[in-house]
Each structure stands twice: as C-alpha cells, then as structure tokens.
C-alpha cells in the first residue's frame, strides 16, 4: 500500500470498469461500468436487492470488487490504504448514530475525524470551526447549531449529516437513501438543501441511491438503473429515466413524468382486466 497524498482535482472522480462482486457464491453485481466526472450528479435506482447499496459501498471504498477495476479519486482499490482514501470522501448515511449526545455543531466537526464522537485531546482549529458554522448555516441549521442530537427531527439530522460530510471538502459526496424516514415537508427541505449545495459547489460530484423517483433532486444530471445486479441503463438522466426503461427495471408498467421544476413522478399504468 502507498501513502495517499490529497487527490488532484482533475480527471474522473470515479471509474468502475467491468466489475463483478461475488459473496458466498452469489453474484451481487455483474459487469458494472461507470464513470463519474466532476460536477456530475448521479442517481442509482432499482428495486430492493438490485445492488444499489452494494455498488455504493464500492464507490465509497468500503468493499473491494471480486473482478474488475474500481478507481476512486484516481486511486485503484487494492493498491491504496482505503481508510485514508475514505477520509477524502463525503458519505451520508441517515442511520449514522453519533455518540455522547453531541450538539449539531459537534456532530458536524466529527466529519474532520470521521468518528462517531469527538476525539479526546483533539480540538478543531478556528478556521475549521468557522467552516463548520458556515456549512451549518448553508444547510439552514444555524438556529439549531447547539441543539443536541436526540432532540432533532429526522429531517434536521439529514441536513446536519450533509454538513458533516462536507467538512473534509470532498470532491465526491455519496448519499445512501438520504430521504429515508422523512415526512413530506422534511423530504422537500432536504432536497432543496441538496440542490443549493450543488449550485454552490460546481465541481462537487454526487451519487445518490434511492428507489423512489420522487426523491431525486432536480439537479440530478445522470442515472443508472440496476436490475438483479446488472446495469440496465446508464447515462444522461433524461435518456435513462423513461417510462419504458423504468418499467423494465421495476418489472411493472409505470409512466414517468418530469415536471417544469425538474422533478420526477412515477405512476403505475392501469393493467387491463382479464377478459372472462
């Protein structure tokens, strides 16, 4: 393994080439290829068990492929210290559980140490504290900066976790079903925050996992449809999120509509009743 210097801000953020992932004799991913460039915002969609979270674990340098090549920030998995590599990624997991009843500000600061609690005898610099305050304000959480984690709503936690993930100033942000458990208002606030984030950080690349098209931010640029561990389609979002392709992906006839504000809706097509 080589010591990792901060990755250069050039070239693809992610490159996956011909990847298979096999566990206990079962193929979880087969023949996956994907390239994500700076400023692109990808969505991974598919039914439960399609391989979305498994692929995200590869992109986040958590899992290694059985076959094929995965490059994260220009570094090839298997040839680099993945623990250090992960320190340059922003990974948002809505199931993250901070330790010790931390405040929002403290949780955001743990993004610098990639820990669930503040590290003993470690203190952020004044610049890092200012950065945390800016991110908290940007995500609309300024009035809740000193609130303790157990008192937050699920939507507030989601926005705080985005701020936490941005502390290392990553080139890549991974969002694993960030709208899980949110009510309608909280979901819309979260998606608006993601759109605002993408507008402010033009070179940031993001990959978001979901199986609900309604949870896609309007700023999504690309999509990949996964079915039984294989890529059904991938590319510019308007080429991929079509009624025919999404119907095939989910094995059910649906009609996809993109509204004027850039958001998507999916409605099941009526299946004609069988004639007696």
Q: What is the pLDDT of residues 185-219, one digit of tens each?
A: 889 988 998 998 899 888 999 999 998 999 999 99
210 in the same domain as 84: yes
218 in the same domain as 83: yes
6 occurs within a structural domain: no
CB 59 within 8 A of CB 16: yes
220 in the same domain as 162: no
Please give the residue range of the domain that contains residue 253.
14-88+171-268
Domain boundary among 134, 169, 204: 169
275 occurs within a structural domain: no
CB 50 within 8 A of CB 229: yes
Banded model confidence at residue 223, pLDDT cuts 50, 70, 90: very high
Nearest one of 144, 157, 174, 164 to 14, comparing CA atoms:
174
Task: Return all residues near 81 (Cβ < 8 A) that are at least 6 apart.
Answer: 1, 2, 3, 4
Residue-wise pLDDT tens digits, 96-107: 888 878 999 999
157 occurs within a structural domain: yes
Domain boundary among 150, 169, 188: 169
Residue-wise pLDDT tens digits, 24-47: 999 999 999 999 999 999 999 999
Residue-wise pLDDT tens digits, 4-29: 555 556 689 999 999 999 999 999 99
pLDDT surpasses 80 at 271: no
How many structural domains compose the chain? 2
Concatenate the DSSP letters of all residues of 42-70 into one string.
EEEE-STTSSHHHHHHHHTTSS--SEEEE
8 occurs within a structural domain: no
Distance (Å) of CA 225 to CA 104, 115, 138: 35, 32, 31
Whole-model pTM? Answer: 0.87
The predicted model gives 50-60 an average pLDDT of 94
212 in the same domain as 79: yes
1 occurs within a structural domain: no
Domain boundary among 144, 169, 194: 169
Banded model confidence at residue 241, pLDDT cuts 50, 70, 90: very high
């Amino acid at each position: 393994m080589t010591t990792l210097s901060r990755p250069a801000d050039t070239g693809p953020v992610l490159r996956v080439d011909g990847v298979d992932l096999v566990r206990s004799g079962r193929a979880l991913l087969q023949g996956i290829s994907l390239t994500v460039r700076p400023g692109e915002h990808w969505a991974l969609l598919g039914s439960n068990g399609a391989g979305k979270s498994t692929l995200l674990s590869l992109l986040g340098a958590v899992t290694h492929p059985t076959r094929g090549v995965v490059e994260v920030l220009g570094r090839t998995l298997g040839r680099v210290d993945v623990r250090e590599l992960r320190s340059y990624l922003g990974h948002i997991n809505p199931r993250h559980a901070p330790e010790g009843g931390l405040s929002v500000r403290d949780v955001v600061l743990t993004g610098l140490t990639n820990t669930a609690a503040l590290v003993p005898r470690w203190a952020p610099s004044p610049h890092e504290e200012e950065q945390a305050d800016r991110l908290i304000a940007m995500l609309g959480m300024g009035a809740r900066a000193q609130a303790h984690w157990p008192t937050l709503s699920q939507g507030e936690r989601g926005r705080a976790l985005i701020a936490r993930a941005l502390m290392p100033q990553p080139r890549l942000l991974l969002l694993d079903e960030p709208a899980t458990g949110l009510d309608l208002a909280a979901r819309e606030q979260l998606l608006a925050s993601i759109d605002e984030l993408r507008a402010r950080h033009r070179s940031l690349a993001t990959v978001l996992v979901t199986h609900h098209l309604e949870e896609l931010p309007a700023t999504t640029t690309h999509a990949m449809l996964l079915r039984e561990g294989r890529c059904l389609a991938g590319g510019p979002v308007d080429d991929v999120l079509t009624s025919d392709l999404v119907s095939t992906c989910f094995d059910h006839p649906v009609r996809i509509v993109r509204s004027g504000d850039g958001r998507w809706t999916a409605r099941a097509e009526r299946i004609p009743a069988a004639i007696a």
